[in-house]
Amino acid sequence: MNRPRLVSVVVAALVVAIMGRLLVHGCTSGGAMGGAYRTCRCKGHEWVVADQMAVDGPRITMCFGWVTARTCHPFRDGPDVPCDSLVR
């Protein structure tokens, strides 16, 4: 492989890694066994990583885009609390 082609491949890989880091975020997580639960509003595409089934554990979703708002609860159906107050 010649040098200009190698440089372009490395630059393309860096761009993909940086865009992935900036645009992929954890959105919904927690809530198992009465634990803390966090949700978010995703501006983009939200997909389910693990559904809430006994074998999967708590529901987990990822956001490809921007997270516009986060909501945290001390347990699944509890009141909203500041997200900084929950132990992660």
Each residue's pLDDT tens digit, 43-79: 988 888 876 666 656 778 889 888 888 888 887 667 8
Are 81 and 38 contacting, i.e. CB atoms less than 8 angstroms apart? no
Query: Number of structural domains, the chain?
Result: 1
Q: Which H or E run includes 43?
A: strand 37-50
3-class secondary-structure state, position 26: strand
Residue 3 located in a structural domain: no
Tell me if the pTM is above 0.75.
no
Confidence band, pLDDT 50/70/90 cuts, at residue 1? low
1 assigned to some structural domain: no
- Of 5, 24, 25, which Cα lies nearest the Cα of 13? 5
Kindly state whether residue 11 falls inside one of the protein's structural domains.
no
Classify residue 17: in a domain, yes or no.
no
Domain-embedded: residue 55: yes
In Å, what is the CA distance from 26 to each residue of 14, 49, 83? 21, 10, 14
74 within domain boundaries: yes
- The answer to whether residue 79 is domain-embedded is yes
CA 23 to each of CA 20, 30, 47, 57, 59: distance values in angstroms, whole numbers, following the listed order: 5, 21, 13, 25, 20
**Domain carrying residue 61:** 24-85
Q: In a 10 Å sphere around its CB, with 0-12 CB exposed, 13-18 middle and 19+ buried, how is residue 79 labelled?
A: exposed
